[in-house]
């Protein structure tokens, strides 16, 4: 599947949309089922390419491809219950003899823009619901994984041929930001779905004012750990959430606030749990922490650690950088205004902070402009209910790490972390518009 550029992409997408929008849901479901089948045929090849191009450890890469298959299965299930909802007009005074349904109609061609950290599953999370909803799609993948993206696109094209779907229903755009922005601005593109940095997301908001824009941006995931929990067990929960895949996840555990009464037990347990995770060659199935996406990023984060130490932070764990490989680092005593606290680290760097009470931890966890994922661990049900109300995030995880995600469930952020939800059932809402259809008695 060759990447293409220019207005021809939009023209082809519009033509495909006009043919696809009237296709019954049965046929749309068959297409997603066929894609699931084709993806299964290239499962291992896709995982190998993903690791070779991005450095994601092979076990995690295989897990991502498996998650993409789960996303397709969830899309298949969502199609059957999506598109039409009965409205009980017969229970409303003045509507005698009327019938009503709320129907959802596809908005038109969709532009999907996806990042390098989950180049397979995040693409499927956008493309499958858009296609299942009756839209055509143009996909602008990340530039860091061209062969991975091409193979994923080819698996879809094989599925499309298998069921006889319209040509150009899904097209792969060149991974060029300027070209993608030009596509997004085209008035014939009905919706843009973007996952990436807050900076780019805010730029898109400015240049696409008035257009349907679905954003999944960054985060600086906070975790609050109450006294009374099993410190070692919580540490084992949180260690991979903080550093797996070099911490290149928007929902990683970045800021961990620990009740002071648990600090002397939890801090060493967390350091030990992180140290137990294998670091190194991403092609080794045992590896959990591989390299960052490139050496420049690793160097920048290593310099951030130097700056934090100069600002008075205490290092609990750190190792020497080797090219793009930055070993996990754990800090404490870091000011809240330090970038490693208030911005998205997107690296295997974690900040531990002791707090005097669970409530203080919640307050400090919520003191951020981000709102993607947050977690709280406690054995006190009153504290967990308090966490539900105080942690302003699109996902609040109780006694679970912030990275915990089921691909059939809603996933999204608030405030600087974006808007709307992904997850096939909810993503389909973003690619459709509701229309209330009311029919009165014949006259």
- List the domain range (segments joined by +) for residue 52: 7-217+418-439
Q: What is the mean pLDDT of residues 389-413?
A: 97
Domain assignment of residue 413, yes or no: no
Domain assignment of residue 95, yes or no: yes
- Amino acid 274: pLDDT: 98
Q: Are 413 and 217 in contact (CB under 8 A)?
A: yes
Mark whether 305 and 394 lie in a shared domain. Answer: yes
**CA proximity to 5, closest of 212, 186, 128:** 186
Q: Are 423 and 408 in contact (CB under 8 A)?
A: yes
Mark whether 116 and 199 lie in a shared domain. Answer: yes
- Amino acid 6: pLDDT: 55
Q: Spell out the residues 6+ positions from residue 216 whose beta carbon is closer than 8 angstroms to its own.
A: 194, 195, 250, 411, 412, 413, 417, 418, 420, 422
Total domains in the fold of the chain? 2
Pairing assessment for the beta strands 99-106 and 432-439 based on DSSP bridges: antiparallel
CATH of the domain at 190: 3.40.605.10
Tens-digit pLDDT profile for residues 146-192? 999 999 999 999 999 999 999 999 999 999 999 999 999 999 999 99
Return the active site residues.
216, 250
- Amino acid 200: pLDDT: 94
Mark whether 115 and 68 lie in a shared domain. Answer: yes
Mark whether 245 and 191 lie in a shared domain. Answer: no
Mark whether 198 and 89 lie in a shared domain. Answer: yes
Q: Are 252 and 218 in contact (CB under 8 A)?
A: no
Mark whether 196 and 263 lie in a shared domain. Answer: no
Mark whether 348 and 394 lie in a shared domain. Answer: yes
- Provide φ and ψ at 357, rounded to 5°: -155, 160
Domain assignment of residue 341, yes or no: yes
Tens-digit pLDDT profile for residues 112-156? 999 999 999 999 999 999 999 999 999 999 999 999 999 999 999
What share of the chain in percent tops pLDDT 70?
99
Q: Is the pLDDT of residue 5 over 70?
A: no
Give the Å distances, CA to CA, from 396 to 77, 376, 414. 25, 8, 12
Tens-digit pLDDT profile for residues 95-106? 888 999 999 999
Domain assignment of residue 394, yes or no: yes
Domain assignment of residue 411, yes or no: no
Q: Mean of the per-residue pLDDT values for the chain? A: 96
CATH of the domain at 312: 3.40.309.10
Mark whether 24 and 154 lie in a shared domain. Answer: yes
Instruction: Report the C-alpha gap between 149 and 67 in whole angstroms.
Output: 16
The residues that bridge with 106 in the sheet, in sequence order, are: 432
């Amino acid at each position: 599947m060759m990447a293409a550029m220019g207005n021809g992409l939009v023209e082809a997408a519009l033509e495909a949309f006009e043919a696809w929008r009237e296709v019954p849901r049965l046929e749309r479901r068959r297409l997603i089922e066929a894609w699931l089948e084709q993806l299964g045929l290239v499962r291992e090849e896709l995982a190998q390419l993903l690791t070779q191009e991005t450095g994601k450890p092979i076990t995690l890469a295989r897990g991502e491809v498996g998650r993409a298959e789960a996303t397709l299965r969830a899309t298949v299930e969502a199609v059957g219950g999506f598109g039409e909802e009965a409205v009980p007009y017969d229970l409303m005074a003045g509507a005698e003899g009327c019938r009503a349904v709320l129907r959802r109609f596809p908005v038109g061609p969709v532009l999907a823009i996806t990042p390098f950290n989950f180049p397979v599953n995040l693409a499927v999370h956008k493309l499958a619901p858009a296609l299942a909803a009756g839209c055509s799609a143009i996909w602008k993948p990340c530039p860091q994984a061209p062969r991975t993206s091409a193979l994923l696109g080819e698996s879809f094209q094989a599925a499309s041929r298998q069921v006889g779907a319209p040509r150009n229903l899904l097209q792969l755009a060149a991974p060029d930001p300027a070209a993608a922005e030009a596509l997004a601005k085209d008035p014939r593109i009905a919706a843009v779905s973007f996952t990436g940095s807050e900076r780019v997301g805010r730029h898109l908001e400015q240049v696409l004012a008035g257009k349907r824009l679905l954003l999944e941006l960054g985060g600086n995931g906070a975790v609050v750990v109450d006294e009374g929990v099993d410190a070692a067990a919580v540490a084992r929960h949180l260690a991979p959430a903080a550093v797996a895949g070099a911490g290149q996840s928007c929902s990683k555990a970045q800021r961990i606030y620990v009740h002071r009464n648990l600090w002397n037990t939890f801090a060493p347990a967390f350091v030990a749990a992180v140290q137990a995770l294998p670091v190194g060659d991403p092609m080794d199935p045992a590896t959990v922490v591989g390299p960052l996406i490139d050496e420049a990023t690793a160097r920048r984060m290593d310099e951030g650690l130097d700056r934090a130490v100069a600002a008075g932070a205490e290092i609990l764990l750190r190792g020497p950088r080797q090219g793009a490989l930055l070993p996990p680092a754990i800090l404490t005593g870091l000011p809240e205004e330090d970038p490693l606290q208030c911005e998205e680290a997107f690296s295997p760097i974690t900040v531990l902070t002791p707090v005097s009470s669970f409530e203080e931890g919640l307050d400090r966890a919520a003191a951020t402009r981000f709102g993607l994922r947050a977690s709280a661990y406690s054995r006190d049900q009153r504290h967990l209910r308090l966490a539900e109300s105080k942690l302003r995030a699109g996902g609040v995880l109780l006694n679970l790490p912030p990275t915990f995600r089921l691909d059939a469930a809603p996933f999204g952020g608030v405030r600087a972390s974006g808007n709307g939800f992904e997850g096939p059932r909810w993503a389909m809402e973003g690619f459709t518009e509701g229309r209330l259809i009311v029919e009165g008695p014949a006259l």
